[in-house]
Structure 1
């Protein structure tokens, strides 16, 4: 059983994916962390971020079992990750690892940008989780403030829009809903409401299995 969850940054898909995985006892993979882990390895080794063969070789060494969300969540790592994520050979290496993960028993939940369209197009459940750019920027702002950080809403809003353009405009595996994905707009939804909506979709599919 594979549950593919896609959507733009800060739409709530990560929180929702972890909640679903926990509820059903499935394995969870935030595929964005695989790009961040590759980027961090390049930064730590002092290697360039514009050398595709070097980045692809590093992507091939990423250990999916040891992805540390806290360690990989810095803005610097995120920016570096978005630069290497447009490289076709990096994507190929990481997609292969992600597909291998998706076969774990009893089931998996993968979230990212191209799970339902590229990584696991055969997934029986596909969700596309989105929210308006304003709401997503506000969530990111509130998250930083809650952690005791300093944030500028306008800068975050600008960053969210740039990230969307980059993700949706890239030639290789652009961010878009799969044709058979269920759309969940969380702009006005709590995480509990989003979870219940997703659960209803998943349960309906499980009944047919």
Structure 2
């Protein structure tokens, strides 16, 4: 039996490491909710682009963020993303958004607003469902530093580029491995060097290289880590027990 999650699993790492796929699958497997924080920044980035605002104009971006409703669903089976109440789940995955999201997410006020929103979602999920798997780039360091399990996923640039290219192609978006590699490396540089909440592992995070692992192997490794950290419940004789 997989067990049920009781608490927060924080999954961080750069683009292409499989965070979104494994976070959703892990949450579904463990009867937990799921939060894709990156989708929130993408929703706001789409709003910035639609408004014709320069993503580098921090003041204008922050002003727009204050009056924009960013919504995300927490079901791992049917995750959703909305902008002012309208579904934008497909539109936030375009290359145009990919190219602008790092600049938008680097704005300190944007991060402050969305981190506060993310913490509210996490608290509500823990209170109602019992557990949530959260993926992003600053979950273990900023959003949920008290999470009992923090994992930093890694993979080689070439592997991440192939994954991103395959993902784009499957979604009908034109992409080549070389273009994808340039994109992920650019995103890495921007995310790891920004002044506010840079991409980096938490001091107590477990590092997991997914380069040579299947999704199933990553899920099993994460489930084992959750069990080891005492945040899985296991039914025994009809009574839920927490392994410590």
Q: What TM-score does the superposition give when structure 1 sets the normalisation length?
A: 0.92
Task: Report the secondary structure of 2:70's partner residue.
Answer: coil
Whichever structure has more helix as a proportion of its residues is 1
TM-superposed CA distance for 1:208, in Å, is: 5.0
2:59 equivalent in structure 1: 53
**How many residue pairs end up in the alignment?**
209
Question: Hey, what does 1:35 align to over in structure 2?
Answer: 41
What is aligned with 2:97? 77
User: Which residue, 4, 22, 33 being the options, matches 2:28?
Assistant: 22
Q: Is 2:120 the counterpart of 1:100?
A: yes
Normalized per residue, the structure richer in strand is: 2
Whole-angstrom CA distance in 2 between matches of 1:84 and 1:150? 24
Change (3 A) 1:148 1:74: closer
> After the TM superposition, which of the residue ranges 152-161 and 193-202 deviates more from structure 2?
152-161
CA distance in 1, matches of 2:195, 2:54: 22
Q: Quote how far apart the aligned CAs of 1:44 are.
A: 2.0
Picking from 15, 18, 41, the partner of 1:12 is: 18
Q: Is the 8 A contact 2:152 2:208 kept in 1?
A: yes
Structure 1 equivalent of residue 154 of structure 2: 130
Residues 52-78 of structure 1 show CA distances to partners (whole Å, capped at 9, x for unaligned) of 233224334322345143231111112
- Out of 88, 91, 94, the position equivalent to 2:111 is 91
Q: Secondary structure at the match of 2:16?
A: coil
- Structure 1 stretches of 4+ moved >4 Å: none
Q: Deviations over 1:80-103 (max 9, x none)?
A: 211111111111111110111111
Maintained 8 Å contact 1:128/1:182: yes
* Structure 1 contact 40–72 (Cα < 8 Å) conserved: yes
SS state of the match for residue 180, structure 1?
coil
For structure 1, which runs of at least 5 residues remain unmatched after alignment? none
How far residue 149 of structure 1 moved from its aligned partner, in angstroms, is 4.3
TM-score (normalizing by structure 2): 0.80
Tell me the distance in 2 between the aligned counterparts of 1:50 and 1:150.
26
Cα RMSD for the two superposed structures = 1.7
Structure number with greater Rg is 2
